[in-house]
Chains A and B, each alone.
Chain A
């Protein structure tokens, strides 16, 4: 399917899932970013009750399984659901094995469910660049709730909080003593804590530890819910708990890092559209005639020196 942006966008507006899939591919590759941003600006605002809900926690805690359960739960409540399931991309080869779908039920006949796997480069805070743009597309396509499953780095993925309206942190029984929770740094950014696998022994103790930690004087009150995906316990309560959280939309985007990311994306897009303007630099750099610093410097001075790239 090689189509122009205008063709794909026109199909997206007609709610063609394949156009949505292609737009997400482009975003994941860092292509067409400026076009997509411009096109999105022309669409109406997203209703406030639509949420971006992130699920995080260490590997093996049951993120994919719980997200899979929540797809069904939201569907039963009449809400459509899109999932962005992030898995790590190898820093060495750029390859990725994306296996989150495996643990989510498949709904080939239900247009109210969309699941997309995303390879997340290392060093990107457990969620891909341009996640916000992907979320906007999914909401504009008509999905009520967008669930994000992080790669689950465990101690470093707190950055996802500013991308989501509600951050659900999963912990499981027998995952360490209360000092482990203290240092994890993850609980302090949680809007909601799920003690997952609550049917296992030790869940009581873990719940008590987490509650004791979160209810220290001066902390904001954070709901702690016991959930078991395998026994279908606590799923309705989790959905209600999520929807009871206030939306963070609008205040989460506007910081210096976001602006830098936007500028970078716009610049790379412009360069992609005019490969001929920087081909000589690429060749010189590949042949070793100029070093990394010099190549980067020449790239930065491109628009002024050639005059051939204009927005």
Chain B
């Protein structure tokens, strides 16, 4: 949903190489479009990359839409530029994990691995 896609593509590729099925939705998606993708693709996780500083606006909207659609079971993880102080706020909204700058692909893989055989949607 951000206008930057370098980071999200690196993560998508890393997860692909670790054996995950990753659906990349592209830049500038609306929250509604992302949620439709998660539902139609029957995704287990939703990864979002936000560098714009809008995470405290976008994430609550996404969580609300997921809930409204009965998609509470979908794990949401967030990457990008998230200030340390905002991490607890995102976790309180139901985000399962925030990956800050400098996170290795391996950390993300190790986090998702226990849920193997999963599809991951990225936006």
Interface residues of A (CB under 8 A from B): 1, 17-18, 21-22, 24-25, 29, 89-90, 93-99, 101-102, 106-109, 114-117, 119
Contact = CB atoms under 8 A, between A and B. Distances in A.
B66 to A, nearest CB: 12
Q: Main secondary structure on chain B at its contact with chain A?
A: mixed
Interface residues of B, number: 31
Given A22-B42, A24-B42, A109-B32, A101 B19 contact: no
Contacts of B35: 108
Among B18, B40, B73, the one with the most A-chain Cβ atoms within 10 Å of its Cβ is B40
Given A94-B19, A101-B25, A102-B25, 8 more contacts: A18-B39, A18-B71, A89-B21, A98-B22, A106-B33, A108-B32, A114-B40, A117-B23
A97 B20 CA distance: 8
Contacts of A29: 117
Given A106-B36, A108-B33, A99 B15 contact: no
Given A98-B24, A106-B29, A17 B16 contact: no
23 contacts: A17-B40, A18-B69, A18-B70, A24-B42, A29-B117, A93-B17, A95-B15, A95-B16, A95-B17, A95-B18, A95-B19, A96-B21, A97-B24, A98-B22, A98-B23, A101-B25, A102-B24, A106-B30, A108-B32, A108-B35, A114-B40, A117-B21, A117-B41
Contacts of A94: 19
A101 B39 contact: no
Contacts of A114: 40
Nearest to A99: B24
Contacts, number: 81
Contacts of B32: 108-109
Interface of B: 12-13, 15-26, 29-30, 32-33, 35-37, 39-42, 69-71, 73, 117, 119
A29 B17 CA distance: 19
**9 nearest interchain CB pairs?**
A21-B42, A102-B26, A95-B16, A106-B33, A108-B36, A108-B32, A97-B16, A93-B19, A25-B42
Given A1-B73, A109-B32, A101 B37 contact: yes
A95 B40 contact: no
A96 B33 contact: no
Contacts of B24: 97-99, 101-102
Contacts of B13: 97
Contacts of B29: 106
